[in-house]
Structure formats: structure tokens, C-alpha cells
């Protein structure tokens, strides 16, 4: 019923811009922005290393398609990381709060 969505972005400014838009559209209840993530990955046959910001977004599972589309429209990367992890258990009051603060 609920998901934690992981998204990496190049900097805090981008993370805040995306988070504000997602809040405005009621697609997330919470965004944690974790700076200074060291990311290693292959891109165009080269090993890359970059500093990024990790976004952890809390939402309802049924909003993922809209959330993914919105992130892709705002994200500067050609292929952004957007990974949904199911929240299997949690504090009932917190999960209720997520439900009350997402969707229209």
C-alpha cells in the first residue's frame, strides 16, 4: 500500500525543486534529502564517480506511475534512478499520515 522511492539527483537545488513540485501535486507525504552520496556507475562505457543527493520519498503505491512521470519530466538526467521499495510494515500512525497527505 505504501512505498519508499529512491531518486538520485546531481545537487540540492534539483532535489528541492523536484520535492516541492511533488508536494504541490500531492504525490508524496515526505522527502528526505541526503547530500554527499558518492555514486559509482558505468555510463557510455566509462566508469563514473559523482557526488549526488539521494532523495527518499514516501508515498502510496498507487501513485507511483504519476510520481515517476512527474520526476522524469523535472529530472536533468537522461535516465534517472527512480526505484520504489515496498513498505511492508511501519508505525500505523505514520502510514496513516502518508495516506492523509497524498493523493487528491
pLDDT at 103: 86
The answer to whether residue 21 scores a pLDDT higher than 90 is: yes
Note the pTM of the prediction, 2 decimals. Answer: 0.94
Question: 77-97: per-residue pLDDT in tens?
Answer: 999 999 999 999 999 999 999
C-beta of residue 34 within 8 angstroms of C-beta of residue 51: no
Q: Can you say whether the dihedral through the CA atoms of 61, 62, 68, 73 is positive or negative?
A: negative
Q: Over range 52-76, report the average pLDDT.
A: 98
pLDDT at 63: 98
Fold of the 2-100 domain: Alpha-Beta Plaits (3.30.70)
Average pLDDT score over the chain? 97
Amino acid at each position: 500500500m505504501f512505498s519508499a522511492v529512491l531518486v538520485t539527483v546531481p545537487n540540492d537545488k534539483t532535489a528541492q525543486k523536484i520535492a516541492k513540485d511533488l508536494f504541490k501535486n500531492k504525490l508524496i507525504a515526505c522527502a528526505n534529502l541526503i547530500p554527499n552520496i558518492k555514486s559509482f556507475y558505468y555510463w557510455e562505457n566509462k566508469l563514473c564517480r559523482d557526488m549526488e543527493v539521494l532523495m527518499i520519498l514516501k508515498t502510496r503505491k498507487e501513485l507511483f506511475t504519476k510520481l515517476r512521470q512527474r520526476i522524469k519530466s523535472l529530472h536533468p538526467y537522461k535516465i534517472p534512478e527512480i526505484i520504489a521499495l515496498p513498505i511492508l510494515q511501519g508505525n500505523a500512525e505514520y502510514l496513516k499520515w502518508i495516506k492523509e497527505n497524498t493523493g487528491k
